[in-house]
Amino acid sequence: MVRHLHGVLYVFIITFSLIHLVQAQDQKGFITLDCGLLPDGSPYTDPSTGLTFTSDASFVESGKNGRVDKDSERNFEKAFVTLRYFPEGQRNCYNVKVTQGTKYLIRASFFYGNYDGRNIIPNFDLFLGPNKWTTVNLSATVPGGQYREIIHMSKLSSLQICLVKKGTTTPMISTLELRPMRSDIYISDTGSSLQFLSRTYLKGSGSILRYPDDVYDRRWFPMVEKEWTIVTSTLNVNTSNGFDPPQSAMASAATYVNVNGTWDIPWTIDDSITRFHIYLHFAEIQTLLPNETREFIVFLNGNEFSEPFSPKKLSIETLNTRPESTLRCQRGACLLQLVKTTKSTLPPLLNAMEIFTVVELPQSETNQQEVVAIKKIQIAYGLSRVSWQGDPCVPKEFLWAGLNCNNTDIYTPPTITSFICTHKFFGLSTVMDTLFLSIPRDLSNNELTGVVPEFLADMKSLFIINLSGNNLSGQVPQKLLQKKGLKLNVEGNPNLSCTERPCVNKPRETGHAKKSITVPVVASVASMVIIATALVTFFVLKRKKSSNNREKGRTPRSEPPRITKKKRFTYAEVTEMTNNFEKILGKGGFGMVYHGYLNGTEQVAVKVVSQGSVHGHKQFKAEVDLLLRVHHKNLVGLVGYCEKGKDLVLVYEYMSNGDLKELLSGKPHTSVLRWGTRLKIAVDSAQGLEYLYKGCRPAIVHRDVKTANILLDENFQAKIADFGLSKSFPNDGESHVSTVVAGTLGYLDPEYYQTNWLTEKSDVYSFGVVLLEIITNLPVIDQHRETPYIAEWVGVMVTKGDIKNIIDPRLKDDYHSDSVWKFVELAMACVDASSASRPTMSQVVIELIECLTLENSRGGRSCDMESRGSREVTMTFGTEVNPAAR
């Protein structure tokens, strides 16, 4: 929200008294919580927006209901009258079920309203899962409240929003709202989200626009400066471009006329290290005369942000920063400039804009299998500990009581290494229902009581049970005694009867009786079982392989790909979309690739598997399996597939700029790729590969990384393609898989070639070769070179200090020398003969981003924030709000 416009105070007030008829619209996926509302008052419909509010009682395990004081209540809308506050514990969390892989607008509002009669304004932190999102400091606002909003991609099927106590004040919250959004808008780089800073539409006066005017329930604030000229239109503006701002926002715009044709719009952010993203929405809403032209260039902080640009007539166009943008503002002072071109007769025009800051969320959540497991214990035994909220392992200062965790690095999901439990911890004394978890083998000497349950015999993966040294009673079930391959030890249970020979049962030696028994529970990714008695009875599960397979050296048959029906096309549909396979785009690894149109409008690439291909069907299955379960902006998207007998077809998103190999080759109709573009392609590709290894469980190795498998869209965004040879590790957490050598000569990891061990570093080696191709534009293997292999040849050149001969001469010295050297050093580290000496793909991404940052800094100029004229405005954005009277 704008607080100041060159001395003019604009306080935008949150109010839901919008005067318009609320039409019924789909609120599917909306989560709208009135925090502190009693369940018997839920749900209710807000009359001004039509939004349905529900109680938060089922979304949070702690906290108390509060209500603002009478004076505040008269001024607040219903949703802000009640609240939830958290006087106990340091971290209290909302647990919201969401759709995995879906992008959400998350908004939390905080209205203190002197609910506790103490007039002590709260100050606390807000977390998304294990990562800090922001600080809520109500004392820094005008009386009333504020809200925080972020656009965040959910990696899991649940989202934890936590209020964390900082000092002596008590965290509180008024409303919590989640709105699902399209995945192809508001894209941020890996491990980060976009925090709302400002969302404005340029109009002299108007209401705060939100749902139902805005399908995503974003809040748009009107903004104007006295020297701007506001223009409006009563005609309908086509706002459908994915961002879909409200019609009312795009039917209004501002222009600004001055002598030099430059329109400056400055604003400030907290500091100079904060990155930001900006989205500018344009539509020409004036009727231009035949001799009139509107054209301008957009600059950000003095750097060109767009080519010469003319808004479309009554149709939206959005200019926005790239996901990996590193835009920052010197001393926190930012500047947007719209500069009129010489051919333009009209001043620049702007309808609406949004500004976000980048919030880094690097810490991975705890391994979800183990989170599910530990929560089953919590539910089964009614554990209501305040400390058992949020992520069990991270951050470390909020580690759940009784747990120990293994945190290797922030990018790897932590695992639970031990769970310390005593009878005092659980307070149980009878056998309870069985839970399936990852736990240890030895359950001896734990003073367990009760009977041995018969259902253990039905557990196929259970092969060891050690119940010795306990107080179990009754008869060991015959079904359990007759289970083949099971090793059962019940020695030292004097009241337990056992009639079969496999059962070992000797009287327990007397000794010092335990008063407080501690059971370490070692967690792993393998499946496990827990049985509760006086404390908890723990059983270990281990996956059992077929003895026949072990003897004959066979591996278990792989599962069929998880194919969804909505992705499946008939062969007739494929024929129609390709116009009977009319236009050939190229030849893939195992078939021809054709150009097509889906629904007559959306371009697609259609790969038809050659019926003569020996491994075509196997690779088809592997690719469909992978692409239907992984999604990333730097992996080529699978639109669908066709499988009918020998007719195997894969339908991909269309990548208009082809593959990197072709672009580097300098074939006709291809221009020379600038160094900055090459770096961007390298970063995109590395992020795609990093996702396969870090973002997928179990990890995936591509196995055929090469320039021909890096595709580029119309904006030169790179995406990894061709996953027919990809290989998943059998179990999560394993570092390698033994497999036959496959890939492309010249790109193959020498260690993989020699040992048949495939690891993440195998892809790192292949990608290192790609990096060498990017900078040299030379063939990977050239028998005419003294050293045919590119890695060896570049190594010789580096030893000589001959960087000039390495770099593609077509770049013509148009690059930052430090960026180039850093790039070459990284590439050579990737192709090190020893995999242990190579960087990880995550390290590669970081190094490449540094290369890109160096290149972007070349020739840039900082803007002098003190030299602007008196007519320029300064904007400070924040999220403070002040509720108005009804």
Q: Which residue has 């004392």 as its token pair? A: 139
Selected residue with higher pLDDT from 360 and 417: 360
Q: DSSP state, 850?
A: H
Q: 3-state class of 53 per DSSP?
A: strand
- Rounded to whole angstroms, the Cα distance separating 80 from 70 reads 12
CA-CA distance, 526 to 370, in Å (whole number)?
Answer: 10
Q: Are 391 and 366 in contact (CB under 8 A)?
A: yes
Give the residue-averaged pLDDT of 487-516.
59
Q: What is the pLDDT of residue 140?
A: 53
What pLDDT, on the 0 to 100 scale, is given for residue 174? 97
All residues at 6 or more sequence positions from 620 whose CB lies less than 8 Å from its CB, including other chains: 590, 609, 641, 643, 648, 650, 724
**What is the pLDDT, as a whole number, of residue 361?**
92
Return the pLDDT at 505: 47
Nearest partner of 249 among 226, 225, 223, 277, judged by Cα: 223
Q: Which of 556, 530, 526, 560 is nearest to 543 (CA)?
A: 526
DSSP secondary structure letter of residue 660: H
What is the model's pLDDT at position 740? Answer: 55
Which range (244-258, 598-612, 672-686, 859-873) has the least confidence? 859-873
Instruction: Name which residue leads in pLDDT, 749 or 8.
Output: 749
Q: Which two tokens stand for residue 136?
A: 């809520």
Residue 521 pLDDT > 60? no
Q: What are phi and psi of 634, to 5 degrees?
A: -110, 20
CA proximity to 469, closest of 426, 425, 510: 510
Taking every pair of C-alpha atoms in the chain, what is the biggest distance, in angstroms? 105
Q: What is the pLDDT of residue 861?
A: 33
Residue 204 exposed, middle or buried by CB count within 10 Å (0-12, 13-18, 19+): middle
How far is Cα 706 from Cα 717, in angstroms, rounded to an integer?
Answer: 16
Instruction: Write out the catalytic residue numbers.
Output: 704
Report the number of secondary-structure helices (H) and strands (E) in the chain. Answer: 17, 49
Amino acid at 49: T
Which tokens go with 826? 């990284």
Q: Are strands 757-758 and 528-531 parallel, antiparallel or unpaired?
A: unpaired
Q: What is the rounded distance in angstroms from the CA atom of residue 261 to the CA atom of residue 721?
A: 45
Work out the burial of residue 884: count CB atoms within 10 Å of its CB; fewer than 13 is exposed, 13-18 middle, 19 or more buried: middle
Q: At what angle do helices 790-800 and 817-830 cross, to 10 degrees?
A: 130
Q: Does residue 57 have a pLDDT over 50? A: yes
Extract the tokens encoding 51.
Answer: 């939004």
pLDDT of 234: 95
Residue with structure tokens 């019924």? 24
Indicate the helix (H) or strand (E) that contains 772.
helix 760-776
Both structure tokens of 361: 């969320």
Identify the band that residue 438 occupies on the pLDDT scale cut at 50, 70 and 90: very low
Least confident of 77-86, 346-355, 370-379: 370-379
Residue 108, beta-bridge partner list: 148, 176
- Res. 615 pLDDT band, cuts 50 70 90: low
Look at the block and give the residue holding tokens 């990977």. Answer: 780
Distances (CA, A) of 815 to 302, 673, 790, 798: 20, 12, 22, 18
Which of 47-51, 160-164, 563-567, 694-698 is modeled with the greatest confidence? 160-164
Q: Is residue 189 within 8 Å of 686, Cβ to Cβ?
A: no
Task: Give the rounded distance of the alpha carbon of 252 from its chain centre.
Answer: 34
Note the pLDDT of residue 200: 97
Q: Alpha-carbon torsion 448, 450, 451, 455, what sign?
A: negative
Q: What is the DSSP string of 542-559?
A: -PPPPHHHHHHTPPPPPP
Which amino acid is residue 47, in one-letter code? P
Angle at which helices 760-776 and 817-830 pack, to 10 degrees? 140
Residue 851 host element (H or E): helix 841-857
pLDDT at 877 exceeding the cut of 70: no
pTM of the model: 0.55
Percent of the chain past pLDDT 90, that is, above it, reads 42
For 523-548, write each residue's pLDDT tens digit: 332 333 333 332 333 332 223 333 33
Closest CA to 227 of 8, 472, 47, 470: 8
Could you tell me which residues come within 8 angstroms of residue 872 by beta carbon, excluding any fewer than 6 positions away?
A: 6, 264, 266
Task: Judge whether residue 100 has pLDDT over 80.
Answer: yes
Q: How far apart are CA 16 and CA 78, in angstroms?
A: 10
Q: Give the distance from CA 586 to its chain's centroid.
A: 33
Range list of H helices, 214-352: 247-250
pLDDT for the residue 557: 34
pLDDT at 479: 80
Confidence of residue 453 (pLDDT cuts 50, 70, 90): low
Helix (H) or strand (E) holding 232: strand 229-232
Domains of the chain plus CATH, in order, are 2-181 (2.60.120.430), 200-360 (2.60.120), 368-540 (no CATH), 561-654 (3.30.200.20), 666-862 (1.10.510.10)
Strand 487-489 versus strand 464-466 pairing type: parallel
pLDDT in tens, 148-163: 999 999 988 899 999 9
User: Mean per-residue pLDDT for 420-441?
Assistant: 37
Instruction: Show the tokens assigned to 677.
Output: 């573009």
Question: Binding site membership: which residues?
Answer: 607
From 42-46, 49-53, 393-397, 528-532, the region with the lowest mean pLDDT: 528-532
541 against 682, higher pLDDT: 682
| pLDDT value of residue 163 | 98
The position carrying tokens 């000589």 is: 800
Between CA 745 and CA 752 the distance in angstroms is: 12
Checking if the pLDDT of 692 tops 60, the result is: yes
Which of 10-24, 174-188, 391-405 has maximum average pLDDT? Answer: 174-188
Per-residue pLDDT, 189: 83
Q: Given this model, what pLDDT does residue 499 score?
A: 62
Place of tokens 């957009």: 298
Tell me: pLDDT of 474 over 80: yes
Query: Do 241 and 317 meet the contact criterion of CB atoms below 8 Å apart?
Result: yes
Residue 348 has what pLDDT? 97
- Do strands 123-128 and 158-165 pair parallel, antiparallel, or not at all (unpaired)? antiparallel
Q: What is the pLDDT of residues 830-876, one digit of tens each?
A: 999 888 889 999 899 999 998 998 888 875 433 332 233 333 333 43
Q: 482 CB contacts (<8 Å, ≥6 apart)?
A: 457, 500
pLDDT tens digits, residue range 620-632?
Answer: 877 777 777 777 8
> Across all residues in the chain, what is the average pLDDT?
78
CA 750 to chain centre: 33
**How many whole angstroms separate alpha carbon 447 and alpha carbon 426?**
14
User: Does the pLDDT at position 442 exceed 60?
Assistant: no
The Cα–Cα gap between 808 and 666 comes to 11
**Tokens encoding 186:** 């508001």
According to the model, what pLDDT value does residue 600 have? 80
Binding site residue list for ATP: 607
Mean pLDDT of 264-274: 89
What pLDDT band is residue 416 in, cutting at 50, 70 and 90?
A: confident
DSSP 711-764: EE-TT--EEE---TT-EE-SSTT---EE----S-TTTS-HHHHHH-EE-HHHHH
**Helical spans, DSSP H, in 656-704:** 660-665, 675-690
| Maximum average pLDDT range among 84-98, 463-477, 793-807 | 84-98
* Nearest-angstrom CA–CA distance, 667 and 250: 43
**pLDDT for 221:** 95
Helix residue ranges, H only, 560-600: 571-577
Higher-pLDDT residue of 266 and 525 is 266
**Given the structure tokens 């002197």, which residue do they identify?**
114
- Measured distance between the N- and C-terminal CA atoms of the chain, rounded to whole angstroms: 21
Nearest to 672 by CA among 543, 815, 797: 815
* Prior bond of 698 cis (ω within 30°): yes
- The pLDDT score that the predictor gives to residue 379 is 65
